[in-house]
Amino acid sequence: MTIQSVVIDVEHAGQLFDAPTFENVLLGSWEQVSLTTQFVTRDLLERIKRDEPEWRAYHSWELIAISLETVEMVGNVLLHHERGGGRALHEATNPELAELFERYERPLPPDAVQTFLRLPTPKDSLDTVVGACFRTALDSGARALNVLASHWRRFAEAVRWFRHFPAHLTLDDVDAIDPGPNASKDAIFQEIAAMDDLLDVAVVPDGQGFGYQAIREPDVQFAARMTYLAIEVVLTRGGNLFLNPESDVPAERYPKLYPFLVRRLSPENRSRLAAGGPYHLI
């Protein structure tokens, strides 16, 4: 039987959703999906390098769509965190995500970031260098959430078009359909003419006028980075949920610092922070 379905009644659902290990188990199992996501993203970047223009455009849309899907996992986890559990990490609706990411685009207080990433304050926090490094790490965490939120908001509509129903016109179609002057069309043509590194434009009829979705080469490289960043954010929280102080393995014993948190620190300061935590540098 390919699909097995069971219904768990309300009385017993708490055994799943209220279990302290629930989020940990889900995020731990998501690591496999995250590895495939990175694999597929790298493959797309390779394809894009050697593609003809038509395929470069298609693969770029795929890559950007994957980045948004991955960022939505961050959204799911943020909602789960804000609501204190009770969700399955794949049930956020688009309006919920839109509201959430609008808030997370704004500056975030360090303690909120610390709580979300489940990073304990370093034991040597009174050490000036360790304290400063930790504040920098939290600031990097805040910026990561800001930039992921901003990326989602920027491309959500385009990806919705690409994934849900990619009906569109080309610029040539628009000219053929509507050869005369048209304010909506003319505005699009002017905006597009001013764009550098354009990869693809999909014109979408909008009432009597036109809208469009465009992607540029820098968008693709940026989207790939957003995919990797979103994965790091999710795995930071997931990895720090349950630590085992008795373990002999640093990755299990200490909270994890993924690269996005320490990228702005010198190698020496990274080591100072890791030792002062103590943390496990990934």
Partner 1 sequence: MSVSEFDPVLVRADWVPRLRLATRILRQLERRHVYLEGITSLPHSDLPVGNGLELERLSRAWMLVDNLLGVYAMVAYQLNARTDRIAISQRLREEAVPPSREFLERAWLWSSLPEALSSGAVRPLGVTPEEYLRRLQPLTDRTLERLTDRYTRQRRFHEQYAPFAMAHRHGRAAFHLRVEVTEGPPVHIKLRHDSEGITVLRRQRSERPVQVHTLLFDQEYQDDVAAVLHNTSADIRNYSRLLAALEAGMPDFLDAIERGATGTTRGRLPYILLAAPYTADEQPIANNFTEGE
Residues that bind partner 1 (CB under 8 A): 1-10, 12-13, 15-17, 19, 22, 25-26, 28-30, 32-37, 39-40, 43, 54-55, 58-59, 62, 66, 69-70, 72-73, 75-76, 86-92, 163-170, 173, 176-177, 204-207, 211
Q: For residue 89, count CB atoms less than 10 angstroms from its CB and return exposed for 0-12, middle for 13-18, buried for 19 or more.
A: middle
Closest to partner 1 by CB, 184 or 271: 184
Task: Give yes or no for a contact between 203 and 171, defined as CB atoms under 8 angstroms apart.
Answer: yes
Closest to partner 1 by CB, 229 or 274: 229
Q: For residue 231, count CB atoms less than 10 angstroms from its CB and return exposed for 0-12, middle for 13-18, buried for 19 or more.
A: buried
CB of 175 to partner 1, least distance (A): 11
In whole angstroms, what is the distance from residue 38 CA to residue 191 CA? 33
Q: 239-265: string of b/e by CB count within 10 Å (b at 16+)?
A: bbbebeeeeeeeeeebbbbbebbbeeb
Cβ neighbours of residue 44 under 8 Å, at least 6 residues apart? Answer: 59, 60, 62, 63, 66, 224
Closest to partner 1 by CB, 18 or 197: 18
Helix (H), strand (E) at residue 257: strand 256-257
- In which residue are the tokens 């597929």 written? 40
CB of 112 to partner 1, least distance (A): 21
Closest to partner 1 by CB, 223 or 274: 223
Closest to partner 1 by CB, 181 or 267: 181
| Longest Cα–Cα distance in the chain | 75
Closest to partner 1 by CB, 111 or 157: 157
Closest to partner 1 by CB, 61 or 258: 61
CB of 59 to partner 1, least distance (A): 7
CB of 105 to partner 1, least distance (A): 19
- In which residue are the tokens 């965190």 written? 81
For residue 36 the two structure tokens come to: 């495939």
CB of 177 to partner 1, least distance (A): 5
CB of 15 to partner 1, least distance (A): 4
Amino acid at residue number 251: A
In whole angstroms, what is the distance from residue 30 CA to residue 28 CA? 5
CB of 145 to partner 1, least distance (A): 15
Bridge partners (DSSP) listed for residue 169:
203
